[in-house]
Amino acid sequence: MKASYLLEIATRRLTPLLLLFSLWALLRGHNAPGGGFIGGLMAASAFGFYSISFGPTATRAYLRVDPFMLIGTGVATSLFSGLLAWFFGKPFLTGLWTKLDWAGGLKLGTPLLFDVGVYLTVIGVTVSLLLHLEED
C-alpha cells in the first residue's frame, strides 16, 4: 500500500519538529505544564505519523532501538533516579538538586531524570502497541 505523496512530504518535515517539541515539553515540565508523560506521547505520535506514511518496518529502522528495550531502559532510568537518594542517606525517591553556576544558575535534579525515564517508557509502550497493531 502506497500512502499519499503529500503525507510523505509532510511527515518528513513534521517528524523532527514533533520530536523537538516533545523534548521541549519534557524539559519545561517541572515548573510549567508538560513533563515526561505528555512529551512521550508527542514523540510517540511522531513515530505514529512515520509508520502511517512509510510502514512499520521503516519505522523500526528509523527508531533504531527495539521499543521493548526502550521500555526497559525507561523504567530502569526512573528506578535509578529513585535509588540515587539512597547513596545520600535519604529515603527512596527523595528529590536531589544541584545548581550549575556555569550555566546561569540552572537547577538540575533527580525528578528530571525520573521524567526522562517516564518519557522513554511512554514512547516504548505506545510505539510498540502501534507497530504491533500495524504488523498483524
Q: Which is nearer to another protein, 14 or 79 (CB)?
A: 79
Least Cβ distance, residue 77 to another protein (angstroms): 10
Element of type H or E holding 109: strand 106-109
Calculate helix-pair angle for 36-54, 5-28, nearest 10 degrees: 170
Least Cβ distance, residue 83 to another protein (angstroms): 7
Q: Which is nearer to another protein, 53 or 128 (CB)?
A: 128
Q: Which is nearer to another protein, 88 or 102 (CB)?
A: 88
Least Cβ distance, residue 64 to another protein (angstroms): 16
C-alpha separations of 121 from 25, 97, 118 in Å? 16, 23, 5
Q: Which is nearer to another protein, 56 or 124 (CB)?
A: 124
Which residues form the interface with another protein (CB under 8 A)?
68-69, 71-73, 75-76, 79, 83, 85-86, 90-95
Counting beta carbons within 10 angstroms of the beta carbon of residue 38, is it exposed (0 to 12), middle (13 to 18) or buried (19 or more)?
middle
Least Cβ distance, residue 41 to another protein (angstroms): 19
Least Cβ distance, residue 72 to another protein (angstroms): 4
Are the beta carbons of 52 and 8 closer than 8 angstroms?
no
Q: Which is nearer to another protein, 15 or 77 (CB)?
A: 77
Calculate helix-pair angle for 36-54, 110-135, nearest 10 degrees: 30
C-alpha–C-alpha distance, residues 70 and 31, integer Å: 26
